[in-house]
Structure 1
Amino acid sequence: MRRSIAVGASVLSLAIASTTAAQSVTGDEETTPPPVTGESAGISDIVVTATRQATNMQDTPIAITAVTSKDLEVRGLSNVEDLTVVVPNAEFRRTHGAFGPGVSASIRGIGQSDTNIGNDPVVAYYIDDIYYPTLLGSNFDLLDIDHVEVLRGPQGTLFGRNSLAGAVNIVSRQPDFLDASSYVELTVGSFNRTDIRAGFNMPLGENLALMASGALKKRRGYQRVLDFVCEMNRLGTPELAGDLPPYDLANLGNPEFTPDDCIIGRFGGEDVAAVRAAMAWEPTERLRLTVSGDYTRDESSNPADKTLSLRPALNTPNENLSFAYYGVAYDDRFITPDPYETFETYNDPIGAGTVIPGHSYYNGSSTRGGHTLAPRSDLDQWGVSGKLQYEISSDIDLTAVVGYRSLVERHVYQKDGTPLQTEMTTNDVTNNYVTAEARLSGQHEWIDWIFGAFYFEAEGTQHAIIDQPRTGLIRTLFNTFDPISKAVYANATVRPFGYDNGLSLTGGLRYSDDKKEVSITNLLENTPAPGDIRFNVTPEATVLSWKAGINYEISPSTLVYASAATGYTLPGFNARPQQATQVAQFDGNENIAYEVGAKLDLFNRRLRMNLAGFYTDFSKRPLAIGGQEILLDASGNNTPGNQVLIPLPEGPDGSTTCRARTAQEIAQGVPGYTCIIRNFYQNTPAEIIGFEAEITAEPIDNLLFNGALGYSKFSSPDIDARTVNARQPEPFWTANAGLQYTIEGAPLGGTITPRVDWSFQGSRTFSRVSTEFNQPSYMLVNARVAYAIPDYDFEIALGVTNLFEDLYYHNFFLLQDFGQSNIQGQPAAPREWYLRLSKSF
């Protein structure tokens, strides 16, 4: 692949330009670039701000997928997670329930799925120039947006830290001074889905306008929670329920009555409310001030979570005793045959104060047992921002942005998938942060330039309870994290021979000073104890990011380019130590990506093709290698058990794991221990090669086709690439295609537009030791037909997602890899239909 990239580079006359100004410069007509309007014949242009200035996407030498609000609507997409079916070589997935309501993002084989404060994201999110620092709460509803830009490859010079894999830039609609308008939209569908959206734009004078919008989204969960005892009775196998009590006494039957079903709850539902408002003031033609605010309330149920495998032999005596208390075994009886059913209740039926002989958790304490939690999100998120744009002169502009955001969130997770409890975690998180950025940009005949300064400061807390009957412990955490980021940057595009020649050179630098002050307090329930964990860390880095490239405009419709760019993340640490021996800090990520590409508008703008090939040198890649170590009791002594400690072959020096004692070892008196999971960290360099191709075609009026293809190959010479957050040795493919045709002449002067969308995701490997629970490749088909009456600004659309009801999983939680007893999977939604009515005024 590197050879093919090199050949492509020589053929394409390698080139890149990073910034092109939105304002026209003064001068002769033939040396003045056309204004950026987004309007042209044929396939419409999309104006993007990926270079911090408004440029046509086809003139921007970066691998960008830009999706307009209309594109999102016709494809049935409504939030960031849905971008998976649009962007090549990218995955956006709802994080596993253990990590709270967020979206894990992976671009070109580099991803991060954990929302904990010890690891920074590798994809940077920006909403209207405001930086969003965490995956938690990042499944933004795409309310009143103009378009979404997904930039592939490191974006360290313009987007700073945590853009190691790329960046997502969400651009909202802006108030309009000229036209008053409003809209309302109602959607109903499967699982009692009801969405209501509405908004308006109101000019308040010649130079003042207000825009506001809101959304309510509700949907019943698609995974059914079953009362285990009721279900065993219904299936005629009451003996499998042992002495477990039913969750709901109303499910008790008698000879004259049998419940129709045993459903006591649902997972995978949605309950979100969001509002947004923006006001723009333009006192002069050269000055514009925009102030905006938004608020989101999310009370959605926990994501669907399916138990896929259980080890009958548990890894702690406590677990065996817990299940034996009710006369059952921890085995396949708790695995439902239907992926959309589970026995997880988030309830501990063993009451507080219960004594189980030999059990170190159920020891009669009033705080041990009987815990029940509501398995849903509890998220409040809001923000305000202001943006000032001032035209200093005809060719120099000043932009200043300041914003404040707040997030308060609680999520809970119970990990065993049974009506009993082995470990349940409650997380309360707060984030408050300020973002400020100032940019000075100019455009002249031979150079476009931009200078900027960036400041980010946050205060965050995490309060968590880890309730662990399996280890006999209750841990309470209170962590604080206070990141500060300061940066200055400069980018320039030089045209040594003027606009006419088409050749330009690009250079960019960003100096970043980042640090994150962290205090961790992880205490056992009965403190003080030797098992308490207290430590402070300050991951910090000063980094000089760079980008360089060359591009050549062969013709007004053909651009070829090449570039090299760097990205990084802040050093991290183990945010979940189970005991003091697990406190660890590790280096941050660093990479360099080399890219060649071409952007073409052909056949009188009837065909658009964007091509890119890349090679990423992932030189610094601290990887968590899952192992085990001996569990220490509250006094710091080894905990007895039936395991022995052995070296971890693929881990760094001194890393360990455990296995069960053999019968011979037991006979010989080899001591046994109880083990717990532990991560060991080591730098594991990797290389990634791949390409992307995107196409949009309108061969005849009213017929539109779009498609994309992505390929990436992840390889790491130092370790088997089948590891957490890494691609498997086999190539990873993504693809999507959509086709629609607008039929004119319908009643009332309307149009009928049928559309079908197809997407493909290659197989993924989650385990470092097994391929048993790989996610096989899968294909999804969505379909939609819309009837629109332009004269009445009315549209009705009927659509269906996952038309052929393919079963696939967003994530797997492979606890068996870490010495625990089960494997959990997060099944995606089955087939769903929807009916949408929209009216504009």
Structure 2
Amino acid sequence: MAPATQAAVAASGANAPVDEIVVTAQFRSQNLQNTPLAITALNAASLEARGATQAADLTNTAPNLLFKQAGASYGPAAQVFIRGIGQQDSSFASEPGVGTYIDDVYYGTLYGANFDLLDLDRIEILRGPQGTLAGKNSIGGSLKLYTHKPDGRGDAFVEGTYGTRNLASFRGGADIVMVPDRLFARISGVFNRQDGYVRRMDYGCLHPGGGVAVAGTSQNCTLGREGGKNYGGGRVALRWLPTAGLEINLNSTLIRDTSEPAPTVLTGVTSAANAYFGGLNPNIFVTNPRDYINYATYTAPAFTDPATYAGKVGAGNHPTTTVPDHNDILNSATAATIDLSLPHGLSIKSITGYTYTRAAYGVDMDSTPVAVQNALYAAKSRQFSQELRLSGDAFGDLVDWTVGGYYYRAHNNFSGSNILYAGLPFENLNSPDDDIISRNKSGFGQIIVHPLDRLNVTGGIRYTDDAKSYVYRRFNPFLPGVPTFTPAGALTGVHSDYHATRVDYRVNVDYRWSDSLMTYAQISTGFRGGGTNARPFVPEQAVSFNPETLTAYEIGLKSDLFDRKLRLNAAGFINDYNNMIFTNVAPTPTSINNATPTNVGKGQFKGAEIEITARPFDGLLIDASGSYLDFKLKSFTSAGVVIAGVTLDSKAPFSPKWKAAVGVQYAVGTAIGTLTPRIDYAYQSSFFTNIDNNPLGAVPGYGLFNAKLTWDSPDRAWRLSATVKNMFNRFYYVNKFFNVGLQTTQPAPPREWMLTLRRKL
């Protein structure tokens, strides 16, 4: 290899051993390979190499991680599952199964959780229950994002991207020294816009005389698009070192997102749907999913309430109503972290966070010009959290310990207007305005004993007091402040409360057999907080449900082999899942309709995971992961409960049995800089989106190739990259939804390309 080539490759770091990454999963900074947990850690360089720009791009970066954009019916939310446990429903009445944190501050809502990965230092993906570790209980695992701290180096960058469907993206950041050695600042920002890939077509315009009115003004019968992006935001961070041993970090982020709704295509109907289409054949609105079109209008035509409501306040004739065909999210987050070193090896860490989230979105659930369900929803969340930790050591180097406390309170509101089955005998017309208050208090402790030089024994315990209150209101959307005349109106003023306490524990033993190999065994517990039924039809269904609980048994190994040219980490686990929540559809005294979350199930997940990173020779980097996941429903109580379609053979939703990913990149030094081609392949087997395993909710498996070519200038100041996602234009689904006899699907984007130019300043 010529000297110039050697220098270029060396500058890229490609001939170095596998990266060391420091994580904080056990309350203190540790090398990833010394942390006896199933954890995937990715630094900023790894994220950039993979082309990850939003949190949903992480779905192929870790074993047994599934990160999906929620279907349009659930609004601008994320659905995150780890080892088969997560949360599909974005309702405030339920708790996420996977905890999401930004700079150790818990993010308590699924709305807006598909974060832009703006100016990140690293990501930690912890798999398994975090009952004793994370700030708030997380039964499935945790996703932790850490932003760059100002460091006084004065570096800065600007970046621009152009690509498919008029993609235009700009990013930038700068590190500023305000007071040498004392006060530093960092500012960063992002703007991203891209057209959607599913076209909303005017059925009446395309099919004159077909019995469907023209929806309105359109160009070439096109009403709009779904799946497009339009967001921007910024972050300001301050780092203050007033005295030795004291560090204060403040940061504040503001993001505004007015992206289009999740792309939705009507791909199937059953005879159950006929009742909702007023004599029209619903099959005429079914489209070929590969055409990337639907007939959504986001409009409910004028209608008259059925005769059964005649004479009731607010009943009668109602005008045409249109809801927004885009999302509107505002998210602001502020965090303050104080680290204080005290004499005798003691340290205190304080983490304070405040987050405000506002989301508004329109829903055309059926993706047709018929108003089966048209809705406008608004969700607001204000949350405050405080965590305080005291850490130290004892008996020399024999014991490390941490004790602390955590407090969380969120005031949430869910409102809007909901028009279901307009003008039909079973019409449901209501405008929710619900208040939900969530409160969590806990005290915790962890001790790590080092009885032998290479042996560590860890014990952790946490006591949690968890509560939620829900106040229901159901008004008439055409007569504000007056309860709706449909049966839902009786819910106005009804309260439902949940409260539970819980003790979780963790016992872990790890042994380092050599400098290159460590193994561990662990038993740990966790829980998902209970809640209340967010969608009762009548007051007797406004009831609470208890927490789900998990006991996890895990073994694992971490190794750095061949002079750290090969890293191999693996884990196997058995998770006993108790008090599982299913939907009870048994009729109640005043309603034949019911969809009440109820604790009735026991199940077990078994699985295995492997992660490999290798630098076998100069310039070549290989990273790979694979996972296996199996679920068995052990039992469910049926006394007085009807769980539609569920049997002991049912598979857990959002739980693909197999996942695999591999990426290969090779840095080639040249006289004009370094060229680094990279190719990624990811495979995911099929999964169901509901526990009843209805075939109409089955998402087929798929495999994808992405490719990227990057050029770095010799001085590393310029970087130009070309990326192709879904290189072979594979058609596949991200998500599916089945309700009222309608199968709607969320197709993934077709092939995309983009060019990115980055300049370090």
TM-score, normalised with respect to structure 1: 0.82
1:725–1:431: structure 2 CA closer, same or farther, 3 Å change rule? farther
CA contact (8 A) 1:755 1:783 kept: yes
Of 448, 452, 466, which aligns to 2:400?
448
* TM-aligned CA deviation for residue 549 of structure 1: 1.4
Whether 1:381 and 2:381 are equivalent positions in the alignment is no
Cα distance in 1 for residues equivalent to 2:697 and 2:436: 35
* Partner of residue 704 from structure 1, selected from 606, 617, 621: 621
- Equivalent pair of 2:579/2:599 in contact (CA under 8 Å): no
Q: Secondary structure at the match of 1:784?
A: strand
For 1:495, what is the secondary structure of its paired residue?
A: strand
User: Match of 2:695, SS?
Assistant: coil
Whether the 8 Å CA contact 1:161–1:570 is kept in 2: the answer is: no
Q: Any idea what the Cα deviations from partners look like across 1:736-764, whole Å, max 9, x if unmatched?
A: 000000000142xx000000000011110
Cα deviations by residue, 1:3-48 (Å, 9 ceiling, x for unpaired) = xxxxxxxxxxxxxxxxxxxxxxxxxxxxxxxxxxx99961110111
Indicate conservation of the 8 Å contact 2:536/2:594, yes or no: no
Matched residues in 2 for 1:361 and 1:176: separation?
Answer: 69
Larger mean CA deviation between 752-761 and 508-517 belongs to 508-517
User: Which residue is 1:492 aligned to?
Assistant: 447
Are the structure 2 counterparts of residues 218 and 724 from structure 1 closer, same or farther at C-alpha, using a change threshold of 3 Å? farther
Q: CA RMSD in A?
A: 2.5
Question: Which whole-Å CA distance do the structure 1 matches of 2:716 and 2:291 have between them?
Answer: 45
User: Aligned pair in 2 of structure 1 residues 250, 717: CA closer, same or farther (>3 Å)?
Assistant: closer
CA distance in 2, matches of 1:93, 1:339: 22
Amino acid at match of 1:395: G
Q: Tell me if the contact between 2:72 and 2:365 (Cα under 8 Å) persists in the aligned partners.
A: no
State the match for 2:532 in structure 1. Answer: 573
CA contact under 8 A between 1:714 and 1:727: conserved in structure 2?
no
SS state at 1:72 partner: helix
Q: Secondary structure at the match of 2:355?
A: strand
SS state at 1:136 partner: coil
User: Which shows bigger deviation, 331-340 or 514-523?
Assistant: 331-340
| Cα separation, 2, equivalents of 1:742 and 1:367 | 69
Shift of 1:331: 2.5
Paired position in structure 2 for 1:834 = 754
Aligned to 1:89: 64
1:240-279 counterparts in 2 under 5 A?
241-242=210-211, 244-249=212-217, 261-279=220-238
Which residue number corresponds to residue 609 of structure 1?
568
* Cα distance in 1 between the residues matched to 2:107 and 2:697: 33
Secondary structure of 2:299's counterpart equals coil
Q: What does residue range 207-218 of structure 1 map to in structure 2 within 5 Å?
A: 207-218=182-193
Amino acid at match of 1:466: N
From the superposition, tell whether residues 86 and 60 of structure 1 become closer, same or farther in structure 2 (CA, over 3 Å): same
Q: Cα 1:66–1:454, aligned 2, differ >3 Å: closer, same or farther?
A: same
SS at match of 1:134: coil
Counterpart-to-counterpart distance in 1, 2:391 and 2:527: 25
Using the TM superposition, give the Cα deviation of residue 230 of structure 1 relative to its aligned residue in structure 2, in angstroms: 2.4
> Counterpart of 1:657?
none
1:114 is matched with which residue?
89
Question: Contact between 1:509 and 1:547, CA under 8 Å: does it hold in 2?
Answer: yes
Q: Is the 8 A contact 1:160 1:510 kept in 2?
A: no
Q: How does 1:56-75 map to 2 (within 5 A)?
A: 56-75=31-50
Does the 8 A contact of 1:113 with 1:725 survive in 2?
Answer: no
Q: Deviations over 1:466-491 (max 9, x none)?
A: 11215323112111112121111110
Secondary structure of 1:157's match?
coil
Aligned twin of 1:587: 546
CA pair 614-362 structure 1, distance change in 2 beyond 3 A: farther
Letter in 1 for 2:20: D
Change (3 A) 1:763 1:262: same
- List runs of 5+ in structure 2 lacking aligned partners: 1-12, 636-645
Q: 1:495·1:503 contact (CA, 8 Å) conserved in 2? A: yes
Supply the distance in 2 between the matched residues of 1:580 and 1:699 (Cα, whole angstroms). 65
> Does residue 618 of the first structure (1) align with residue 542 of the second (2)?
no
Distance in 2 of aligned mates of 1:680 and 1:250: 42
Change (3 A) 1:186 1:41: closer
Q: SS in structure 1 opposite 2:33?
A: helix
**In structure 2, how many angstroms separate the alpha carbons of the residues matched to 1:447 and 1:798?**
51
Native 8 Å contact 1:362 1:369 kept in 2: no
- 1:518 is matched by which residue type in structure 2? Y
Task: Measure, in 1, the Cα distance between the counterparts of 2:462 and 2:281.
Answer: 59
**Contact between 2:16 and 2:615, CA under 8 Å: does it hold in 1?**
no
Deviation at 1:559, TM superposition (A): 0.7
Shift of 1:823: 1.2
**2:617 alignment partner, SS class:** coil
Instruction: Tell me which residue corresponds to 2:679.
Output: 756
* Per-residue deviation, 1:231: 2.2
* Structure 1 residue 522 displacement after superposition: 2.6
Q: Check conservation: 1:360, 1:472, Cα contact below 8 A.
A: no
Contact 2:470–2:532 (8 Å) recurs in 1: no
The residue type equivalent to 2:168 in the other structure is T
Matched, 1:813 2:730: no
User: 682-691 or 595-604: which moved more?
Assistant: 682-691
Q: After superposition, where does 1:377-776 map in structure 2 within 5 Å?
A: 377-393=327-343, 395-443=345-393, 444-468=396-420, 469=422, 470=424, 471-497=426-452, 501-523=453-475, 527=483, 531=488, 532-533=490-491, 534-625=493-584, 627=585, 629=587, 676=593, 678-679=595-596, 681-718=598-635, 720=647, 726=653, 732-747=657-672, 750-767=673-690, 768=692, 770-776=694-700
**Structure 1 spans left out of the alignment, 5+ residues:** 1-37, 233-237, 252-260, 639-674
Q: Distance in 2 between matches of 1:571 and 1:357?
A: 38
1:188 to 137, 162, 180: 162
Q: TM (normalized to structure 2)? A: 0.91
Query: Residues 633-656 of structure 1: CA distance to partner in whole angstroms, max 9, x if unpaired?
Result: xxx7x8xxxxxxxxxxxxxxxxxx
* Greater strand fraction, Structure 1 or Structure 2: 2
Q: Could you tell me whether the CA contact under 8 Å between 2:581 and 2:599 is conserved in 1?
A: yes
**Structure 2 letter corresponding to 1:452:** G
Contact 1:799 1:833 in 2 (8 A): yes
**Structure 1 counterpart SS, 2:472:** strand
Which residue of the partner structure matches residue 101 of structure 1? 76
Rounded Cα–Cα distance in structure 2 between residues aligned with 1:290 and 1:357: 60
1:330 aligns with 2:304: no
Please tell me the residue identity of whatever aligns with 1:740: Q
Residue 640 (structure 2) aligns with:
none
